[in-house]
Amino acid sequence: MILDERIAQKLIDLKKSMESDGKLLSPEQLRQYYATFRNRFGPDKLRNLDGEALLELMHSHGNKDSLVYWLEFKDDEEFPAKFGSIAGGSAFKFGLFRKSETGIWMTGSPIKPVELSVEHAIDVARKHRDQLLRGIELLEKMPEHGSDAEYSQLQQQMEQLAPDVGNSSWGHKYFSLLYPEKLDDFHNPDYQRFHLIKLLQLPPTGEGRYLVAGRYVAIAHELDLPLNNLTTLLNYRDGNPHGYWRIGTSSKKPTSN
């Protein structure tokens, strides 16, 4: 058994309580929402678009039917905001956005913003699309219950083949919505490691958004839960990552008199 029996039982009890309060999505609801997302933004859709149509679909924040809008803001009966938040920060985190005041496409960073022509913006959207498709190919090959070593390899391959989208919160959320049985929906590595430690699990060594996913897959399987239900329980139980104060202790060795 992966989890301490007491922790496992507390999570099972919490699941029953949250189910009765309607705070957990059912497996049927999850399948419906994942299918809706895939139909709109899955690999077949991305492959069949190019030019301004691709640019608008992927990166137009002002368009409520765009990928970036669904990932950050969409929250209604069609697709509720229950798949991990990527809120916060500026639109530069997407690597491309259209400035609402001027309609000019932007990239770069808040410190060094760069204006782009429509043609150059399309080039960036194509690069993002191609990297998403490469990431999908990697995830297709991943076993459903991958080991730490296999997820470590996934992390390395994402960094090599999809460096711009794979190492972003929005890219991770995109992949997790297409492969919810293989990736958790904690889109920040700090959250991933925080909740593992709260489960008394020592996270794998290394850094990255894909490295620890196998642990959550295994725990969800052990508790017979969808991954989304597990992360919802942990968010409710643990809250946000926080620091600790150590009082009256020292790392120094005691000295003899």
Q: Give the up-direction half-sphere exposure of residue 7: CA atoms within 13 A in the CB hemisphere.
A: 19
Instruction: Show the tokens assigned to 140.
Output: 């297709």
Give the position of tokens 């990552």: 241
Q: The sheet that has 113-116: what strands, in order across it? A: 97-98, 105-108, 113-116
Secondary structure element (H or E) that encloses residue 215, with its range:
helix 213-222
* pLDDT in the model for residue 251: 54
On average, the pLDDT of the chain sits at 94
CA distances (Å), 224 to each of 12, 43, 112, 183, 219, in order? Answer: 10, 29, 47, 16, 8
31-89 confidence digits (pLDDT tens) = 999 999 999 999 999 999 999 999 999 999 999 999 999 999 999 999 999 999 999 89
Task: Note whether 201 and 8 are within 8 A (CB).
Answer: no
For residue 257, the model assigns a pLDDT of 47
Contact between 135 and 142 (Cβ < 8 Å): no
Amino acid 1: pLDDT: 83
241 Cβ partners below 8 Å, 6+ apart?
A: 190, 191, 194
Q: What is the pLDDT of residues 121-180, one digit of tens each?
A: 999 999 999 999 999 999 999 999 999 999 999 999 999 999 999 999 999 999 999 999
Distance CA 233, CA 239 (A): 10
Cα torsion 112, 118, 121, 123: sign:
negative
